[in-house]
């Protein structure tokens, strides 16, 4: 069977997926499952990548982040193997958006920039516009207005190059709204007004309800700032009417959060609590902690303004609990990291300038404060270098993701302080195994990364098994675990000699998928496979490992 398949039934399934995506999730997932089974039976990698991608996209629309990442992670390698570049770019965009929603800005930046590179390399203009808009919003939300404006203007330029405004109005509308908001946040209201006029003149005739809601949130804030309260109140009324039509308001979540701030400011409690009630229900169903925190933050401000002490204390307590779950990022470090990632995209900057920024940031923070292990920033830097080194010298590379079994139950029952001590104890065991070939980092929460360079599969497995046993030997009580009454870990390991085009994220995605498999079938176990996800038969290996240079530790 060819790349696109020749079977009429399969083609019908694919068309059903394209027709039902975003409209009928149950039907889309059923068609994807049928395609997946067929593709596996006929060993059709392109078809299997197609099925995994659209399953992932559907789970994204259902706010099921875990299943979204699982399917997209499986799709990416297959899509790359079969040249489906647009779906790869869309995959990275989806993962980036989900990472932003979960409060993980650094991961989102990596995903966005990777997707942008695919777009530029393969001429995927429409998705490139979307990613540039999203990158601009990431910078704008963190107060980096110059970089945000640069991305918005590039996206606008691409949109203007398409003469068919009707086909391209969504991108054009987003460019105008984003540029208007960016200038408004900087107090440049004359420029804000100019872009609002462009919206009315060029895009208004194509608006759907969700577009009107998107634009009205901007206009309401703008008219308030220029003291045109009649126009402001008219926009508020229109927003209320549209929201009551039950449109998909999660598409404009950020805009509605800002709008709620305006309602709080002007004392429109009726509108404020109506929107908060709707958002609260949606974010609870989504299970995304960061979005729940943002809605609770609005509640806290409302309760405080209305002197509702009982409501305030309850909301503040819930906010604290959610904050304990979600890994906090230092805002200054986030801004610095955004600048670094941006600098990597500027081809005209000299290598010396780029390295100077990286060194400066690395000195500022390269260690996880709680555990003393390398942090995510150090991990990103090291993983890219070690992959390049192993590719150049044809050495095997392994990347492991591990987490603590049933850690949520541990935290819930033993308390967060005891949970922190458990994480530190695991980290201490990882420190003992670090050497010239083995690098360890805390990935976030109860997740850790181990990178093995130049070791055979047997050596990697032996080290992983020894770590697992050492942690069990700690005999940390965990009566709420379904594995053992002590603290245990689950481990997923991707292994292989890097090939041309591989990135560190390819290894990490596979390791994450393998960890998911371990947790699905059992806990307190290890799964090691090649980068394509095929489990390794260690009994057939020779055990021969690579040789590292003496200066390897400098990476």
Give domain status of residue 10, yes or no. yes
pLDDT for the residue numbered 184: 95
165 and 46 fall within a common domain:
no
- Whether 18 contacts 28, CB under 8 Å: no
Tell me phi and psi for residue 545, to 5 degrees: -110, 170
Which residues, 6+ apart, have CB-to-CB distance to 120 below 8 Å? 128
Long-range contacts of 117-120 (CB under 8 A, 24+ apart): 118/85, 118/88, 118/89, 118/92, 119/89
Long-range contacts of 221-228 (CB under 8 A, 24+ apart): 221/184, 221/258, 221/259, 221/262, 222/180, 222/184, 222/189, 222/192, 222/193, 222/196, 224/262, 224/265, 224/266, 225/184, 225/189, 226/189, 226/193
Which residues, 6+ apart, have CB-to-CB distance to 371 below 8 Å? 423, 424, 427, 442
> What's the distance, Cα to Cα, between the start and end of the chain in Å?
45
Tokens 């003393």 sit on residue: 372
β-sheet with 526-530: strand ranges across: 438-444, 447-453, 397-404, 489-496, 526-530
79 and 113 fall within a common domain:
no
Give domain status of residue 479, yes or no. yes
141 and 10 fall within a common domain:
no
pLDDT for the residue numbered 330: 37
41 and 146 fall within a common domain:
no
pTM, two decimals, is 0.53
141 and 190 fall within a common domain:
yes
d(CA 32, CA 116): 27
Q: In this structure, what CATH number is given to the domain that contains residue 50?
A: 1.25.40
45 and 8 fall within a common domain:
yes
Domain end among 171, 206, 241: 206
pLDDT for the residue numbered 223: 96
Give domain status of residue 492, yes or no. yes
d(CA 468, CA 445): 18
Query: What domain count does the chain have?
Result: 3
Domain end among 156, 179, 206: 206
If we measure between CA atoms, which residue out of 130, 141, 198, 134 comes closest to residue 170? Answer: 130
pLDDT for the residue numbered 478: 96
Q: Which residues of the chain have pLDDT under 50?
A: 1-5, 328-351, 539-554
128 and 62 fall within a common domain:
no
Give domain status of residue 520, yes or no. yes
Q: In this structure, what CATH number is given to the domain that contains residue 189?
A: 1.25.40.10
Give domain status of residue 25, yes or no. yes
Q: 275 — alpha (psi -120 to 50), left (phi > 0) or beta?
A: alpha
Which residues, 6+ apart, have CB-to-CB distance to 429 below 8 Å? 467, 470, 471, 474
DSSP string, 252-264: GHHHHHHHHHHHH
pLDDT for the residue numbered 2: 43
Give domain status of residue 279, yes or no. no
Give domain status of residue 179, yes or no. yes
pLDDT for the residue numbered 101: 77
- Per DSSP, the chain holds a count of helices (H) and strands (E) of 23, 5
381 and 420 fall within a common domain:
yes
If we measure between CA atoms, which residue out of 474, 486, 494, 496 comes closest to residue 523? Answer: 486
pLDDT for the residue numbered 449: 97
Residue 102 DSSP symbol: T
Domain range for 122 is 106-206
Which residues, 6+ apart, have CB-to-CB distance to 411 below 8 Å? 324, 418, 419
Q: In this structure, what CATH number is given to the domain that contains residue 427?
A: 3.30.70.270
Helix (H, G, I), strand (E, B) or coil at 279: helix
117 and 54 fall within a common domain:
no
List, for residues 91-119, the tens digit of each pLDDT value.
999 988 888 877 778 788 888 998 999 99
Which residues, 6+ apart, have CB-to-CB distance to 35 below 8 Å? 10, 13, 14, 17, 47, 48, 50, 51
pLDDT for the residue numbered 545: 47
393 and 434 fall within a common domain:
yes
Tell me phi and psi for residue 533, to 5 degrees: 95, 5
Helix (H, G, I), strand (E, B) or coil at 266: helix
Domain end among 150, 185, 206: 206
Give domain status of residue 438, yes or no. yes
pLDDT for the residue numbered 190: 96
Lookup: tokens for 254: 């950020």
110 and 62 fall within a common domain:
no
Lookup: tokens for 459: 């050596």
433 and 488 fall within a common domain:
yes
pLDDT for the residue numbered 1: 38
Residue 251 DSSP symbol: G
């Amino acid at each position: 069977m060819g790349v696109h398949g020749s079977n009429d039934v399969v083609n019908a399934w694919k068309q059903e997926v394209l027709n039902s995506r975003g409209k009928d999730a149950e039907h889309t997932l059923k068609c994807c499952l049928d395609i997946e089974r067929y593709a596996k039976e006929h060993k059709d990698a392109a078809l299997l990548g197609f099925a995994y991608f659209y399953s992932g996209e559907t789970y994204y629309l259902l706010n099921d982040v875990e299943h979204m990442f699982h399917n997209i992670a499986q799709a990416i390698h297959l899509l790359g193997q079969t040249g489906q570049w647009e779906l790869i770019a869309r995959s990275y965009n989806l993962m980036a958006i989900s990472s932003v929603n979960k409060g993980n800005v650094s991961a989102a930046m990596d995903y966005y920039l990777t997707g942008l590179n695919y777009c530029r390399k393969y001429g995927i203009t429409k998705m490139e516009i979307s990613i540039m808009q999203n990158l601009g919003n990431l910078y704008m939300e963190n107060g980096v207005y110059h970089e945000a404006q640069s991305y918005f203007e590039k996206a606008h330029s691409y949109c203007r190059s398409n003469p068919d405004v009707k086909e391209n109005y969504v991108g054009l509308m987003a460019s105008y709204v984003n540029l208007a908001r960016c200038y408004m946040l900087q107090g440049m209201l004359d420029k804000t007004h100019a872009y609002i006029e462009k919206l009315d003149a060029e895009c208004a005739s194509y608006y759907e309800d969700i577009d009107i809601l998107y634009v009205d949130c901007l206009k309401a804030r703008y008219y308030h700032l220029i003291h045109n309260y009649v126009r402001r109140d008219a926009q508020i009324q229109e927003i209320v009417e549209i929201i009551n039509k039950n449109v998909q308001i999660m598409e404009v979540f950020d805009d509605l959060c800002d709008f709620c701030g305006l309602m709080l400011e002007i004392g429109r409690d009726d509108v404020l609590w109506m929107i908060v009630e709707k958002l609260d229900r949606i974010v609870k169903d989504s299970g995304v902690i960061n979005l729940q925190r943002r809605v609770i933050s609005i509640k806290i401000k409302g309760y405080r303004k209305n002197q509702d002490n009982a409501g305030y204390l309850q909301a503040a307590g819930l906010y604290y609990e959610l904050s304990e779950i979600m890994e906090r990022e230092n805002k200054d470090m986030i801004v610095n990291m955004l600048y670094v990632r941006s600098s990597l995209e500027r081809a005209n900057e000299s290598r010396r300038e780029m390295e100077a920024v990286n060194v400066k940031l690395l000195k500022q923070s390269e260690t996880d404060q709680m555990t003393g292990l390398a942090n995510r920033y150090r991990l990103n830097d090291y993983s890219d270098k070690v992959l390049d080194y192993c590719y150049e010298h044809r050495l095997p590379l392994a990347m492991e993701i591990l987490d603590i079994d049933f850690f949520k139950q541990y935290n819930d029952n033993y308390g967060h302080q005891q949970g922190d001590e458990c994480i530190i104890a695991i980290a201490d065991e990882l420190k003992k195994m670090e050497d010239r070939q083995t690098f360890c980092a805390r990935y976030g929460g109860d997740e850790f990364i181990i990178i093995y360079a130049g070791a055979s599969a047997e050596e990697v497995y032996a080290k992983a098994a020894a770590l697992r046993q050492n942690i069990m030997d700690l005999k940390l009580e965990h009566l709420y675990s379904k594995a053992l009454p002590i603290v245990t870990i689950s481990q997923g390991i991707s292994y292989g000699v890097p090939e041309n085009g591989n990135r560190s994220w390819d290894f990490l995605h596979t390791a994450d998928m393998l960890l998911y498999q371990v947790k699905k079938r059992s806990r307190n176990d290890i799964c090691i496979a090649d980068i394509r996800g095929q489990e390794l038969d260690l009994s057939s290996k020779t055990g021969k490992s690579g040789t590292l240079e003496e200066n390897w530790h400098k990476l």
